[in-house]
Structure 1
């Protein structure tokens, strides 16, 4: 049975993966009073977070996926992010797939010339400069509002390297809790690549946070060697599903 969550304690059992980290960090940032940020649990088998129309699911193998499949569209969710294993149990078409990679206990590293938590207005042009087939920058306004809010509430952190008057590299952690963090973006200006800036900024950000486990969501076929060189290893597959239509399982 699915029930609404109104306090953080209900989410404590959910840990040990990137989806749980994102759900709990969102609860820490937004609390339980906003109509655009809602949370539910299905006993101890699944936890869910709906932010605007995007749902994140952390589901155990014994979750009631039939109930979940009926529930998601009913509460207004349009897209779903979950593990590949959970996606196989749901009757919705897949939009995107990729790999969650993890890094445990990164080695201490201190970069030089680091700008901490620069304004999202400064980060956004750097993200746009790195646009590619597998990476489309988010819309500016929701990116700005969400990252600013999470940073103010201590559940997000960003670091950048500045040269002259502009940022040339950045790393953004959009969700972190006491035990885990999710690295959501790494960007280096095209003309500044092959200088180790991406490696330096990721290591600097990772060792600045108290979390001992770090996750990244890597699109299929993208940047695998880069993250492996930093010590990241495969954790699981992920899938983004469209909840506007159903497949026949």
Structure 2
């Protein structure tokens, strides 16, 4: 049975590590359990969070996919992020499209930072969005409201360097996730995104730094010191 959590204490058993757990934890730290647009749920073998129709599932691989499919069909969803194992089963039961993504981790032992790696500039959400929007189809208002809230609560960080920008979605329990890496069109092809990534990874020296990416970007991240560690699944609601 899946039930809504009414207190953060109900998530005390949420795993300390792992990208699904940290994504959920970052939402819990930012919003708590009092808002309808950001809800948290408990299942027998899983923890669930949803923000504006986007769900995250942290399970142990034994989660009841049939129960989840019924739950998601009842709630309605835009996307679901979960383990590869659960996602492959769940997407079939939902009749929805699934995309497998790579979870890559930064290895400081294979990187030569070089003398051109400098401290990145901390950006405001507006400054970061002006760059990130050139590389991603992101609607301004929901992105800005969520990111501003996360930054105010010291959960997320935004960095920039030479016309490039990225978001640190969270830096929690020794793990950090970078995302939304973009460069202004007239500055592309000059290595600025790589410099920014390495600069931010150096700033996050006390954390294991991860990135989620599709297959076509694995070569780029390998050149910047990342290696594939796992695979995750993103499920998207199919258009009728």
Is the TM value for this pair above 0.5? yes
The C-alpha deviation readout for 1:29-83, integer Å capped at 9, x for no partner, is 111111111111223x211111011111122111122211111222332321222
Q: What does residue 133 of structure 1 align with?
A: none
The C-alpha deviation readout for 1:126-146, integer Å capped at 9, x for no partner, is 12333xxxxx32101111111
Q: What does residue 96 of structure 1 align with?
A: 99
Larger deviation, residues 139-148 vs 173-182: 173-182
Q: What does residue 168 of structure 2 align with?
A: 173
The correspondence for 1:192, drawn from 187, 196, 205, is 187
Q: What does residue 56 of structure 1 align with?
A: 56
Q: What does residue 37 of structure 1 align with?
A: 38
- Show structure 1 runs of 5+ residues with no match: 131-135, 163-167
Q: Distance in 1 between matches of 2:175 and 2:133?
A: 27
Q: What does residue 159 of structure 1 align with?
A: 159
Q: Distance in 2 between matches of 1:154 and 1:188?
A: 24
Q: Secondary structure at the match of 1:96?
A: strand
Report the alpha carbon displacement of residue 180 of structure 1 after superposing the two structures with TM. Answer: 1.4
Q: Secondary structure at the match of 1:129?
A: coil
The correspondence for 1:114, drawn from 113, 120, 128, is 120
Q: What does residue 130 of structure 2 align with?
A: 125
Q: Secondary structure at the match of 1:122?
A: helix
Report the alpha carbon displacement of residue 20 of structure 1 after superposing the two structures with TM. Answer: 1.4
Q: What does residue 232 of structure 2 align with?
A: 238
Q: Distance in 2 between matches of 1:9 and 1:111?
A: 43
Q: Please give the root-mean-square deviation of Cα atoms over the aligned residues, in Å.
A: 2.6
Q: Distance in 1 between matches of 2:166 and 2:66?
A: 38
Q: Secondary structure at the match of 1:34?
A: coil
Q: Distance in 1 between matches of 2:205 and 2:29?
A: 16
Q: Secondary structure at the match of 1:234?
A: strand
Q: Distance in 2 between matches of 1:224 and 1:129?
A: 21
Is contact 1:85-1:237 (8 Å) kept? no
Q: What does residue 145 of structure 1 align with?
A: 145
Q: What does residue 69 of structure 2 align with?
A: 69
Give the number of aligned pairs: 233
Larger deviation, residues 102-111 vs 202-211: 102-111
Q: Distance in 1 between matches of 2:56 and 2:83?
A: 10
Is contact 1:102-1:232 (8 Å) kept? yes
The C-alpha deviation readout for 1:142-191, integer Å capped at 9, x for no partner, is 111111110000110111125xxxxx011211223122121111112233
Larger deviation, residues 184-193 vs 31-40: 184-193
Report the alpha carbon displacement of residue 115 of structure 1 after superposing the two structures with TM. Answer: 1.8
- Show structure 2 runs of 5+ residues with no match: none
Report the alpha carbon displacement of residue 23 of structure 1 after superposing the two structures with TM. Answer: 0.8
Is contact 1:177-1:211 (8 Å) kept? no
TM-score normalised according to structure 2 size: 0.85
Is contact 2:105-2:227 (8 Å) kept? yes
- Shift in alpha-carbon separation, 1:28–1:40, aligned structure 2, 3 A: same
